[in-house]
Amino acid sequence: MTVWTPTDDGHADLTSHDTFIQGAPHNTFKRLRDEDPVHWTPYPSGEDFWSITRHADIMEMNRNTAVFSSARGIRMEDQSHEEYLARRTFQETDAPEHMKTRIKVAKAFSKPVIAQFEEDIRVLCDEILDEALAEESFDATKSIARELPMRMLGRILGLPDKDLPWLVEKGDALIANTDPDFTDHVLDKLETDEFRMMPFNSPAGAELYVYAKELMADKEAAGDTEGVLHMILQPDKDGNTITEEEFRNFFCLLVAAGNDTTRYSIAAGMQAMCHQPELLGQMQSEDIWATAPDEIIRWATPALYFRRTLAQDFEAHGKTMREGDKVLFWWSSGNRDEAAFDDPFRVNLAREPNRHVSFGQGGPHVCLGMWLARLEVRVLFQELAKRIAHIEADGPHEFLRSNFVGGIKKLPVRIKRA
Ligand code: HEM
């Protein structure tokens, strides 16, 4: 049985997707937090950047939007201005523009509105678990974690059930665009230049563009003008609407963001259950559901980092970051910072307070889907814990090849039914 501990030598290349095949390089993050918390990181494929690794610095800088701008890209990779304009969503904008768009959909993803989906989620979990747990040995990412998020997003967006497997596949190709298991167009291995105007430099972006357009035409023809997708098309208080490009990119963002991050949270939670056997007992007998979902999502940290660009010079820890420099907030490191969390490498389902940064907390771009993700994680683990008496690893697990999305793409487990 493989119990996961970081294996990097403390000097891992954060720019290499291959580094993350072994899981996030937490020995390197620890060394940086201790020795060089504002670290100038060489990037052979583009402009070098600053890596911010301490929890307190991430929180402070993420809040400081006058200096740390989202409006010049949010990934490590560089973009021309033309590519930025073609591929951006409101996630790649700053105030006041950002809020004008976000506010249109914020209510649909708010805690009370999302809470109304609890019963739907429970029904979906029943279906998924009944099928998966018919076997005693299976890949938990494939049979459980991968199933729930897109089916749920489909309900919220009003997507036909028959399209969901295709959308999962395209969402994977977009966001896991550096892993050959999910795309034929591996970003750093093949020439993807012809797709540079598409989200994630991926041809899947083009297919999703066509899908989004046809979907909206079908909805229009059926007189269906309800739901999140229509909300974002409404004019803001100044009468401005988003462009067709921005709408298509928003659709791609939801398909990508709503699909794999929750999946990898569920997978990481199940992986933790395999090597901390007390977790199942706690789930079965203790009232830990107010805190457990956030701890599972802290443990998972599916979004490893997001980037900002400096709008003006800024000093921290004796370093001067210059206007125009790229800065990466490594949520993955912040969530294992001993200064913010006791025993950060253990899952403590009762952890409170839990000031994790998996959702980009502290900044205006804090995850729109966080209440949905928390609810899905809670209901899934509640239902799982009712149905099993034991869970263990059934072979080594495999991580995604990506320095952007941290996820266990294969998790062989063996269970005993309760
Ligand atoms: C555990 C699951 C999830 C994690 C860890 C996660 C992580 C994040 C993070 C870190 C950000 C902030 C980005 C930044 O600061 O630049 C973000 C933003 C966002 N997330 Fe999530 N996410 C999750 C689930 C979801 C779901 C289920 C949806 C949609 C259904 C979603 C939609 C979005 C959107 C639209 C934004 C952009 C918000 C803005 O810019 O105002 N996410 N997410």
In sequence order, which residues have a C-beta less than 8 Å from that of residue 287 and are 6 or more positions away?
none
Arithmetic mean of pLDDT, 175-187: 75
Q: How far from chain centre, in Å, is Cα 2?
A: 25
How much distance in Å is there from the Cα of 359 to the middle of ligand 1?
Answer: 6
The tens digit of pLDDT for each residue in 323-343 reads 999 999 999 999 999 999 999
- Percentage, residues of the chain above pLDDT 90: 74
405 lines ligand 1 (CB under 6 A): no
pLDDT above 50 for 1? no
What is residue 198's predicted lDDT score, i.e. its pLDDT? 60
Half-sphere exposure of 28 (CA within 13 A, CB side): 20
393 forms bridges with which residues in the sheet?
413
- Using the atom order of ligand 1, give the atom closest to the CA of residue 302: 5
Residue of the nearest CA to atom 21 in ligand 1?
A: 367
The tens digit of pLDDT for each residue in 370-401 reads 999 999 999 999 999 999 999 999 999 999 99
> What token pair was written down for 122?
């429970």
257 lines ligand 1 (CB under 6 A): yes
Per-residue b or e along 158-190, where b marks 16 or more CB atoms closer than 10 Å to that residue's CB: ebeeeebeebbbbbbbbbbbbbeebbebbbbee
Neighbours of 10 (CB within 10 A): 15
358 lines ligand 1 (CB under 6 A): yes
What is d(CA 277, CA 297) in angstroms, rounded to the nearest whole number? 18
The tens digit of pLDDT for each residue in 219-232 reads 889 998 888 898 88
What is d(CA 342, CA 178) in angstroms, rounded to the nearest whole number? 33
Residue of the nearest CA to atom 41 in ligand 1?
A: 365
258 lines ligand 1 (CB under 6 A): yes
Are 117 and 108 in contact by the 8 Å Cβ rule? The answer is no
**Quick one: how many helices (H) and strands (E) in the chain?**
16, 12
344 lines ligand 1 (CB under 6 A): no
The tens digit of pLDDT for each residue in 16-27 reads 999 999 999 999
> 46: pLDDT confidence band, cut at 50, 70 and 90?
very high
What is residue 36's predicted lDDT score, i.e. its pLDDT? 98
Are 381 and 124 in contact by the 8 Å Cβ rule? The answer is no
357 lines ligand 1 (CB under 6 A): no
How much distance in Å is there from the Cα of 387 to the middle of ligand 1?
Answer: 30
- Cα-flanking dihedrals φ and ψ of residue 27, to 5°? -70, -35
How much distance in Å is there from the Cα of 123 to the middle of ligand 1?
Answer: 24
What is d(CA 409, CA 140) in angstroms, rounded to the nearest whole number? 9
What is residue 123's predicted lDDT score, i.e. its pLDDT? 97
254 lines ligand 1 (CB under 6 A): yes
Q: In this structure, what DSSP letter does residue 303 have?
A: B
What is d(CA 161, CA 156) in angstroms, rounded to the nearest whole number? 12
How much distance in Å is there from the Cα of 262 to the middle of ligand 1?
Answer: 10
Find the radius of gyration of the CA atoms of the chain: 21
Topology annotation, domain 17-417: Cytochrome p450 (1.10.630)
70 lines ligand 1 (CB under 6 A): yes
> What token pair was written down for 112?
């009370």
What is residue 2's predicted lDDT score, i.e. its pLDDT? 39
Is the backbone peptide bond immediately before 353 cis, with ω within 30 degrees of 0?
Answer: yes
- Using the atom order of ligand 1, give the atom closest to the CA of residue 89: 40
How much distance in Å is there from the Cα of 107 to the middle of ligand 1?
Answer: 15
32 lines ligand 1 (CB under 6 A): no
The tens digit of pLDDT for each residue in 260-270 reads 999 999 999 99
Alpha helices (runs of H) in 65-117, residue ranges in sequence order: 81-87, 97-106, 111-115
How much distance in Å is there from the Cα of 369 to the middle of ligand 1?
Answer: 6
When the pLDDT of each residue in the chain is averaged and rounded to a whole number, the result is 92
- Using the atom order of ligand 1, give the atom closest to the CA of residue 297: 1
145 lines ligand 1 (CB under 6 A): no
